[in-house]
Amino acid sequence: MKNYSYIIIDDSQKGVLQTKAIADGFSELLFLASANNYSDGLNLILEYKPTLVFLEIDPEDSASKLSLALINELHRFLKVIPRVIITTRKKDLAFDAIQYEVTDYLLKPVQRIDLVKLILKLEKSESENIIFKKQSTVCQKIATSLAPQDPPSHSKSLVLCIKSYGDYRYIESKDIAYLQADNNSTDIHLSNGETVTAFKTLKHFEGVLSSPFIRIHNSYIVNREYISRIHSGNSVCYIKNSIVKLPFSKSYKTNIDLIISEIAKENYLEI
């Protein structure tokens, strides 16, 4: 049985106690700490690195500054982002929360059946990730065996295998211009204009793709090899040989600065 450590961030101490009281009934859930405002909550997450964060995003006390913006801030410091479960009184912010790829959206007061469903969802996700990793390994082995063999000195581009109901689609990472989030799936945009949909979140691809892929927005990961222009004033990146403009957000501005810096280190002349 897998255990999930958690932190509760809620401006209402009553809300903290109510959520903890329900969670205490599950041996799989291990309480670490709680906080009542944005700053303390962020510090606790960075210190304890919990598996789960129960987060209030519509606080009674506006001075607590609790909101979905906390999730953006986590991307500045952590490679692995905790699974965020929204706990709030209203349904109004559910759509916004989905854009931040939260794991669940629970209405307060949290009920026992809510956590039963949450744990089942987490266990199912863990099983699917294990299966996906095994399938990816098999796909990569197949792709390697099918590909022409180059001399050992030549490095090979990573091959992604998008598997769906017995259909194996092989994509070389060097052909990917950018990836776009679409709820719980991701649209992979290729340099030839084709789009392939993978039923994994953008967060998943952020974890498995390394340089030259870099996240610039909650909804976009870009291959910097396909960036033809960066306009800081308009907060957009232009994709080579297309009319596509990708927005980048303030929370990922450091990644944009990194792209500019890396390009400048190559065969480069600034005029």
Average pLDDT for residues 156-161, to the nearest whole number? 84
pLDDT tens readout for residues 185-244: 899 999 999 999 988 899 989 888 888 999 999 999 999 999 999 998 899 999 999 999
Q: Kindly indicate the confidence band of residue 49, based on its pLDDT and cuts at 50, 70 and 90.
A: very high
The answer to whether the beta carbons of residues 221 and 179 sit under 8 Å apart is yes
Q: What is the pLDDT of residue 146?
A: 63
Indicate whether 135 pLDDT > 80: no
The H or E element spanning position 34 is strand 29-35
- Whether a cis peptide bond, with omega within 30° of 0, leads into 151 is no
Q: Can you tell me the mean pLDDT for 28-36? A: 96
b/e burial code for range 27-46 (CB count within 10 A of at least 16 → b) = eebeebbbbbbbeebbebbe
CA distance 86 to 103: 8
Q: Which band of pLDDT confidence, cut at 50, 70 and 90, is reported for residue 170?
A: very high
Distance CA 252, CA 237 (A): 13
Residue range 58-87, pLDDT digits in tens: 999 999 999 999 998 998 898 889 999 999
Query: When comparing pLDDT for 124 and 55, which is higher?
Result: 55
CB 219 within 8 A of CB 180: yes
- 139-158 pLDDT, tens digit per residue, is 666 666 666 655 544 556 78
Q: What is the mean pLDDT of residues 111-132?
A: 83
Cβ-defined contacts of 41-49 (< 8 Å, 24+): 41/7, 41/9, 41/66, 41/70, 42/70, 42/73, 42/74, 44/7, 44/9, 45/7, 45/74, 45/78, 45/82, 46/77, 46/78, 48/5, 48/7, 49/78, 49/80, 49/82
Residue 214 CB neighbour total at 10 angstroms: 21
Residues of the chain with pLDDT > 90, as a percent, come to 60
Q: Which fold has domain 4-124?
A: Rossmann fold (3.40.50)
Segments making up each domain of the chain, as ranges? 4-124, 158-264
Q: What's the pLDDT at 153?
A: 44
- Residue 2 CA to residue 115 CA, distance in Å, equals 15
* Whether the Cβ atoms of residue 53 and residue 84 lie closer than 8 Å to each other: yes
Location of structure tokens 């769906």: 164
Q: Are 220 and 184 in contact (CB under 8 A)?
A: no
Residue with the two structure tokens 């990816």: 136
Confidence of residue 125 (pLDDT cuts 50, 70, 90): confident
Higher pLDDT, 198 or 167: 198
Sequence-ordered strand ranges (E) for 116-190: 159-164, 167-172, 176-182, 185-190
Class of the domain covering 158-264: mainly beta
Which of helix, strand or coil describes residue 95?
helix
